[in-house]
Amino acid sequence: MIRRAAIGVFGGVLLLWAAATASFLLMRVIPGDPVAVMLGPQANVSEAVRQRLREQLGLDRPVLQQYVDYLVGLLRGDFGESFQLRLPVTEVIGRQLGATLQLTLAALGIALALVLIVAIVARTRRTRAVAATVEQIILGMPVFWIGLILLSVFAFGLGWFPVTGSRPGSLVLPAVTLALPTAALLGQLLRDGLEQAERSEFAETVRARGAGDVRLLAHHTLRHATVGTLPMVAYVIGSLLGGAVLVETVFARPGLGRVTLAAITDRDAPVLSGVLLLSCAVFVVVSLLSDVAIPLLDPRRRERAAPRPDAGDLSA
Amino acid sequence: MSARSVGRRVLAALSLTVAATIVLAGCAGSDAPASSGTGAADGSAPSGELSWAIAGATLSEGHMDPQTSQMDVTAMVQRVVFDSLVFQNADGSFSPWLASAWEVSEDGRSYTFTLRDDVTFTDGEKFDAEAVKANFDRIVAPDTASAQAASMLGGENYAGTTVIDDTTVRVDFHEPYAPFLQAASTPLLGFYSPRVLTESLDKLKAGGPDVTVGTGPYILSEYTADQEIVYTANPDYAWGPQGQKTPSIQTLRVSLVPEPSVRTGMANSGEAQLVSELPPSSVAELNSDLKVDTKAYPGMPYSLFLNEKYGVFADQKVRQAFELGIDVDSAVESIFDGQFERAWSVLGPTTPMYDAAIEGTWAFDPKKAEALLDEAGWTGRDADGYRTKDGKRLSVRWIAWTPIPDDRTALGNAIQSDLKKIGFEVVREALEPGAYNEQYGPKTYDITDWGFSGVDPDYLRSHLATDGFQNASQVSDPAVDALVAKGAETVDPTERAAVYTELQEWNAQHVAIVPLYVPALISASAPSVSGLTFDLYGRPLFYDASID
């Protein structure tokens, strides 16, 4: 178990290094000079000034040296400075991270609640078919469309929620918008797992002992099905924390999605690699956690030490 | 720990999350949209909050500083923090503001300003001639890399600012520079506190409460990037452009809402009492009790620049045919819902010295366009119906930088289909800024497009002079160079008007630029807002505004 964890951590570090290298290469390969983008096509700035700017940003050093400096900086914990804002990357990401965390937690909470409710309520074949159809429809709708519909009904129409701002009410609609497709995805997986578990022999036994549907679900099959959805939950957490740029734009919320989009458009390489590394780290951590959680939930997946032969027997 | 109890714990945790979320949503959801308090208009203590929704998506990308930014939105939103030397009235004349009087030397090379002595920055620093010099020097400093403010301060023409005494300052230019007063009335040449210029110079582009410090009627008190900017009234303000003191509205809450349909919804639901940058198609959807102000932008209308040094546009006949082959009236009327007017001249109709005589002089005439193309030798036809000459197809490439609003895409499509009918191919490329710059730099395109807001026609110099930095058409005509230089140097208004009339008529003949439509800044305000005025750029001014 320790060895497995150690391999997992080492793999994670390798992944982080690959992400850092990939983002560094991407920014060099895509055409476009950050200084030109910073100033805009209509800037009356002389070439000498542009060259000075490039020097200040360290863009005039040879590529290999930039790469080495960059890696060394990462090891020291220095993620560099944004080209456009001249703020440390940690600050640029940090000032938007809180909003993304809020939205992720809220969306996840609502999604899990929805999944649970649907699992408990939809127990017969017909209700499950209805649930499956609804989930399919939701998954087919673009997320910004869902957001705009919710806005026009609940914010502009009924006036129940504010659109923007930092008040707690303004978190509800964007969280629900993100939660719906997530719940649909997780719901399908959970239902698959439930149906599988209900077909197995232990379920027959439990029913034979007189347990009703809800008891069967809550005490027995739910745990089996949950184990199957854990990897997907981990993936969803990772991608939500990477930012949801469409929802952020529609609901005028700050977040990592918009930071990433701005970094790409403005060729802001330090910010972009900061975001990529953060995303990668989140995925690694969450995957490790889910790997650890599965044996905890499902005893069949735990390693059990095989009974060792008594040393005395061999010599016989 | 037994497996059963682990399952129980998981279930318990899940149930807790569910319960917490429902409770949170429940008690938060009962917030009604923000209702504004009262802001008395009678000069008593300021109160009330005005919620102002703008697009503002680019502000967080280092565009919070009007002295370096090339974005219009920076000037629009930071006007409330930065005051200027003079104020430009609706009729184009100038009145005293931070400068109580000024003198222009005979040769037009020096401007001497007498400053008010009672002005302070909101961090306590005094506003004096040293502050003016510090700000102007910062704008032209090479390290600042100012995209627009530096050229408004004269660019290479700027010779320096001299402090004569605490309340007298002189700005010198190498050549006479007539546009300076208009430039000095904009927030781009507004004033930061000298302390901020020494201590936080590198933070100005990012902006923030202790960094964006000016002398204006409002103080930037909170800033959440990509979400909102909160301005609170400056209690010591006593030097408004018409003598106004601290504004009536205590708090200006600017919400940054990139989606236009969401802004429209906020106007209708009352969540925002003032909404700017509305798209023309939304005007029909606004509630009838909202007051809608449509202010045409002064300056260069949205136009196409025909690059005459690259491909087929080297031939004037081809350029003229291009212009006559587009049905601008129908396209602009239908795409913009009748909200925007089509343009005729390189000056918009609300720009001073606009020449109305040009209107109607180059109306849609496909027959004439075809005749011109025949004359130019494009008589062959290929399999797709496009004209050819010497085996080459009559084709031009148009580069545009993203994001492109839907209405401009529609306009682009209309132009392409109009020109296809006369055998002219237009290929349109939407490029994101990095890729766009790669082509714009070496000028490897036939057409590009933009509009440029400016109250003084001097912006034509950068667009038409041989070494102009916005000369996308690559015009290089010594007569034009002489004209734009003369326009910048002539102080007498009648003589200047004659120069710019000649320039507008030159373009109507030469067709370096094809003006298409006059964009307007569309704002909607709630009936509870009164006293809102607009500057010549169409941007809202809050000196006299109040809210009930």
* Selection from B437, B443, B199 nearest residue B314 by Cα: B443
pLDDT of the residue at B43? 47
3-state helix, strand, coil in chain B (%, to 5): 35, 25, 45
Judged by CB atoms within 8 Å, which residues 213-232 of B form the interface with A? 224-228
Q: Could you give the percent of chain B with pLDDT greater than 70? A: 92
| Residue that is written with structure tokens 């009627």 in the block | B217
Is residue B105 scored above 50 in pLDDT? yes
Mean pLDDT, chain B, whole residue set: 89
DSSP codes joined into one string, A99-119: HHHHHHHHHHHHHHHHHHHHH
Report the chain A residue with the minimal C-alpha distance to residue B140.
Answer: A45
User: Cβ–Cβ of B61/A266 closer than 8 Å?
Assistant: yes
Residue length of chain B: 548
B257 vs chain A: nearest CA distance in angstroms? Answer: 5
Residues of chain A contacting B30 with CB distance shorter than 8 Å:
160, 169
Q: Is B458 exposed, middle or buried (0-12, 13-18, 19+ CB in 10 A)?
A: buried
| Reported ipTM exceeds the 0.95 cut | no
pLDDT of the residue at A220? 78
* Selection from A267, A280, A266, A275 nearest residue A243 by Cα: A275
User: Cβ–Cβ of B21/A219 closer than 8 Å?
Assistant: no
Please give the single-letter amino acid code of residue B30: S
Predicted confidence band at B10 (pLDDT cuts at 50, 70, 90)?
Answer: low
pLDDT of the residue at A294? 85
Judged by CB atoms within 8 Å, which residues 12-31 of B form the interface with A? 14, 17-18, 20-22, 24-25, 28-31
User: Cβ–Cβ of A99/B228 closer than 8 Å?
Assistant: no
pLDDT of the residue at B336? 93
Q: Could you give the percent of chain B with pLDDT greater than 90? A: 74
Measured in whole angstroms, the distance separating CA A179 from the mean position of its chain's CA atoms is: 13
Is residue B18 scored above 80 in pLDDT? no
Residues of chain B contacting A116 with CB distance shorter than 8 Å:
14, 18
- d(CA B518, CA B293) in angstroms, rounded, equals 15
| Residue that is written with structure tokens 């590198």 in the block | B202
User: Which residue stretches of chain A have pLDDT < 70?
Assistant: 1, 41-44, 166, 304-316
For residue B403, is the peptide bond before it cis, meaning its omega torsion is within 30 degrees of 0?
Answer: yes
| Residue that is written with structure tokens 């933070």 in the block | B203
pLDDT of the residue at B272? 93
User: Cβ–Cβ of B255/A258 closer than 8 Å?
Assistant: no
Three-state DSSP state, B204: coil
pLDDT of the residue at B42? 44
Three-state DSSP state, A282: helix
pLDDT of the residue at B9? 60
User: Cβ–Cβ of A252/B227 closer than 8 Å?
Assistant: yes
| Residue that is written with structure tokens 């037994």 in the block | B2
Per-residue pLDDT tens for B174-213?
Answer: 999 999 999 999 999 999 999 999 999 989 999 999 999 9
A17 vs chain B: nearest CA distance in angstroms? Answer: 27
Is residue B15 scored above 60 in pLDDT? no
| Long-range contacts of the stretch B238-245 (C-beta < 8 A, 24+) | B238/B118, B239/B83, B239/B97, B239/B98, B239/B116, B239/B118, B239/B119, B239/B215, B240/B543, B241/B87, B241/B95, B241/B97, B241/B543, B242/B87, B242/B95, B242/B543, B244/B217, B244/B543, B244/B544, B245/B43
- d(CA A181, CA A201) in angstroms, rounded, equals 33
- Pair B98, B116: CB distance under 8 Å: yes
Joined tokens for residue B106: 């005979």
pLDDT of the residue at B41? 40
Is residue B132 scored above 70 in pLDDT? yes
Q: What is the pTM of this model?
A: 0.82
- d(CA B446, CA B424) in angstroms, rounded, equals 13
**Is the pLDDT higher at B26 or at B75?**
B75
Report yes or no: B369 at the A interface, CB cutoff 8 Å. no
